[in-house]
Structure 1
Amino acid sequence: MLGWGGQAGVVSTSRPLVATSSHTARLHRMVRDMFKMVQTAPQSNLNTLRVLLLAALLGLPLPLASCGDDGGGGGTGESAQPNTSGDGGATTGDNTPTGGDGTSSPSRGCLDFDLLEASAKVPSNITLLFSVKTCDGDPRPGLKADDFTITEDDATISAFESRQTILPRSVGFDLYSIVLLDMSGSIIGSGSIPLVQNAARTFIDQVVVDQRVAIVLFDGRRELETLVDFTDDPQVLYDGIDSLSDYEPVDPSTNLNGAVEAALSMLDREARLSLDKINGGSLILFTDGTDQASRVSDEAILDAIDKTPHTVFAVGLGEEVDPEHLGAIGKDGAEFAATEDIVDAFNRVAERLQAESQKYYVLGYCSPKRAGEHTLALEVEGNRGDLTYDFAADDFGPGCDPTDFTLRDGTSAD
């Protein structure tokens, strides 16, 4: 299960992820990155960088910070195992610019790769499932196949010959979200339902492209009420939202903490059902008040939030909310809005959730190797930071289709 927000998540796989090291490949990458730094560094830093470069060439220890720990490679053949983190290069703290449409354009910076799963299979297919963030922790969406440079044993692989391609995210990742709506007496009595409906529709428009969504309601009851179960069908979600026009709460109290605890359990159950893909869940909470039912204490729910690998966002409406508590629940982002601004608040959360989902990539290519063990490295041109993966090319040959990706249960991604 992926936790894709501000805290590290847990990767759910059908086998353990194993990390080994390749010291020669690591040294080559360090020297390469040092050359890049010397070429672009301010004049005042050149002497220091030259000393570090000489140390790298001599194999001496380097006091060099990186985006992430070097992971080396892992495994061979069909059971080949990926690194769990990429070698990050030098940390710079500079942000990567994005275009007006919200997608990133490749430019010089520092990137942090996280290799989540990989495979090397005959005839010569290499498939990598990974995420990309800036070294400041921001998601890096919008990268295209030709933005990536692939090397095998430090020799660049021709993008034309390898036919490297970005596969649809859905073939390797199962992403899903719960929209948890407060339908207690205060919401109904304030006449805010039409605004909540508009905000929910706008949210669905943005996020259902990449994931499945469930709409779940709570009031003062212990149990949640599932309005719409997980689906990627927008019309089913719209119909559920429309049905709220005549909604009447069963218990006018507010079981806020209990509802969040129960929704996290729903995400846990969904993760256990997703065995053939890497999965990630998100919770988006909407409320206009504080916990009144007192079934779950503030301390208990914040402990659960701290431990969950799921992403959690919160939207607070009006002046009755407790900003400190709600902000702590929304560990990956919290928005507070007056009634008339609720649509904008939901939009901001949707944009953040969408960017988080789009930092995940599935890249396939055809290796030219035909025997032996090798180390590949993947990077974005003009940026420091890469990931590495060791693979065996025994029995490799012609006939590779880079889009031919096999899931863990042996079924085709098509």
Structure 2
Amino acid sequence: MHFFSRTFFHLVAALCLLTASTGCGSALTVTRVNSEEKKPNNVWVFFTVEKGDEPVAGLEADDFKIYEDGELVSRFESQQTIQNPEVAAVMYTLLLLDVSGSITDSGQIDPLVDSAQMFTERVGKTQKVGVYAFDGSEKLHPVVPFTETEGAVKGGLEGLRSFKPKDPSTNLHGAVVQGLQVLKEGLDKEKKPLKFGTLVVFSDGADRAARVSREELAEELAKKEYEHFDRFAIGIGEPEELASARLSEIGRDGTEEGNDQAKVKEAFERIASKIEAHSKRFYLLSYCTPARKGQHVVRIEVDTDKVEGKGFLEYTFDADGFGPPPHCDPERKPTFKLDAVEQPEKAK
């Protein structure tokens, strides 16, 4: 019995060493997205903290311990601080709204606009939001381009209340294909190295226009250039229509469905909450390393009473040529290289 216990313990310890980058046996998962080091002795680490599928938000600089080569780096020496992730990252959400005849002719456009306004107000606090609409037409109808201006979003959405579709059919598949393209084009224009995109689609039923087949849609969704986008779907309509739409294939990261038109706002609220949570899991830790030469293993460990469990990340950096002058400023902004970006796992 004792031999088995010792053997099991050593096996677990060995597995911990193999999985040191995210911690072992801990309730928290800490995942490095990117990191950078620059003279005189600045170090930046961009990472996520999660507990299971839930993000861990609200941590501060003192909630982390920094180790280099197994030795704790004092907070006084490191001057560690949490910078606003927006200095290195940008997040875009594209909202696609079904305004086909089944929506506009049934009196559901006003509740839809109200829900979309709530959604954009919430999500727009942490990222840029764009809104496009679709009916049976071949092309999307631009409502609001990607913007951080709340007034512009609200004004654009108000115009949908009197929208009359030129084609009352539903080009759902074509809208998703074009929406992915619009989202990527918007992010490609950004100069920040860390870019995160989210597509949210609302529809009351299946694609009827047949401009893009289900197979063609699946092929587009599987493209590598879109693999790190989060995708959500909201469906409020007749059960048979929603079953035919197969919205869960579009909303890979979350789908809300129902047949009660009065609860469309609740569905939008739940998706908005998931997107908000996604954005709050990111941290940009900046500190001044005491190292002045050679390769070093840095370990960032979550150590706080604010959340139950432990977690850490580890990686190696090069400190050759480090040291003042000038003196290290922990508030200095990073300039992450694009080719060093590692995309984290998507929020669930």
Please classify the TM superposition score into its range, dividing by the shorter chain length. 0.7 to 0.9
Question: Partner of 2:65 in structure 1?
Answer: 149
Judge conservation of contact 2:193–2:337 (CA < 8 Å) in 1.
Answer: no
Asked if residue 340 in structure 1 is aligned to residue 267 in structure 2, the reply is no
Aligned alpha-carbon RMSD (Å): 2.5
Asked if residue 396 in structure 1 is aligned to residue 323 in structure 2, the reply is yes
Pick which of 321-330 and 340-349 moved more: 321-330
Pick which of 153-162 and 180-189 moved more: 153-162
Question: Partner of 2:342 in structure 1?
Answer: none
Q: 1:405 aligns with which of 308, 328, 333?
A: 333
Measured against aligned partners, the alpha-carbon deviations of 1:1-32 in whole angstroms (never above 9, x if no partner) come to xxxxxxxxxxxxxxxxxxxxxxxxxxxxxxxx
Pick which of 322-331 and 250-259 moved more: 322-331
1:83-94 correspondence runs (5 A): 86-90=21-25
State the distance in 2 between where 1:53 and 1:259 align.
Answer: 54
Question: Partner of 2:346 in structure 1?
Answer: none
1:304-383 correspondence runs (5 A): 304-307=220-223, 308-309=226-227, 310-319=229-238, 321-323=241-243, 325-337=246-258, 338-381=260-303, 383=309
Judge conservation of contact 2:34–2:336 (CA < 8 Å) in 1.
Answer: no
TM-superposed CA distance for 1:142, in Å, is: 2.5
SS at match of 1:110: coil
Q: 1:164 to 1:52 in 2, by over 3 A?
A: farther
State the distance in 1 between where 2:233 and 2:10 align.
Answer: 50
* Letter aligned with residue 247 of structure 2: L
Question: Partner of 1:158 in structure 2?
Answer: 74
State the distance in 2 between where 1:138 and 1:202 align.
Answer: 23
* Letter aligned with residue 399 of structure 1: H
State the distance in 1 between where 2:11 and 2:107 align.
Answer: 69
TM-superposed CA distance for 1:54, in Å, is: 4.8
Q: 1:161 to 1:305 in 2, by over 3 A?
A: same
Judge conservation of contact 1:215–1:226 (CA < 8 Å) in 2.
Answer: yes
Judge conservation of contact 1:305–1:331 (CA < 8 Å) in 2.
Answer: no
Judge conservation of contact 2:22–2:31 (CA < 8 Å) in 1.
Answer: no
Pick which of 117-126 and 340-349 moved more: 117-126
* Structure with higher strand content: 2
Judge conservation of contact 2:36–2:336 (CA < 8 Å) in 1.
Answer: no
State the distance in 2 between where 1:233 and 1:403 align.
Answer: 27
Pick which of 325-334 and 377-386 moved more: 377-386
State the distance in 1 between where 2:160 and 2:148 align.
Answer: 20
TM-superposed CA distance for 1:170, in Å, is: 0.8
TM-superposed CA distance for 1:159, in Å, is: 2.2
SS at match of 1:209: coil
SS at match of 2:49: strand
Asked if residue 138 in structure 1 is aligned to residue 42 in structure 2, the reply is no
Q: Percent identity?
A: 35
State the distance in 1 between where 2:295 and 2:137 align.
Answer: 59
Q: 1:213 to 1:55 in 2, by over 3 A?
A: closer
State the distance in 2 between where 1:230 and 1:357 align.
Answer: 17
Judge conservation of contact 1:89–1:384 (CA < 8 Å) in 2.
Answer: no
SS at match of 2:27: strand
Judge conservation of contact 1:177–1:213 (CA < 8 Å) in 2.
Answer: yes
Question: Partner of 1:386 in structure 2?
Answer: 312
Q: TM-score, normalization: structure 2?
A: 0.86
Q: 2:135 aligns with which of 219, 235, 239?
A: 219
Judge conservation of contact 2:44–2:334 (CA < 8 Å) in 1.
Answer: no
State the distance in 2 between where 1:224 and 1:403 align.
Answer: 43
State the distance in 1 between where 2:169 and 2:38 align.
Answer: 57
TM-superposed CA distance for 1:406, in Å, is: 3.1
Pick which of 218-227 and 262-271 moved more: 262-271
State the distance in 2 between where 1:140 and 1:47 align.
Answer: 39
Gaps of 5+ in 1: 1-43, 71-85, 91-108
TM-superposed CA distance for 1:350, in Å, is: 0.2
State the distance in 2 between where 1:258 and 1:89 align.
Answer: 44
Judge conservation of contact 1:375–1:389 (CA < 8 Å) in 2.
Answer: yes
Judge conservation of contact 1:276–1:409 (CA < 8 Å) in 2.
Answer: no
Aligned residues: 326
SS at match of 1:254: coil
Q: 1:268 to 1:241 in 2, by over 3 A?
A: same
Q: TM-score, normalization: structure 1?
A: 0.73
Asked if residue 115 in structure 1 is aligned to residue 32 in structure 2, the reply is yes
Q: 1:366 to 1:339 in 2, by over 3 A?
A: same
Measured against aligned partners, the alpha-carbon deviations of 1:125-154 in whole angstroms (never above 9, x if no partner) come to 1101122223x3433333222211110111
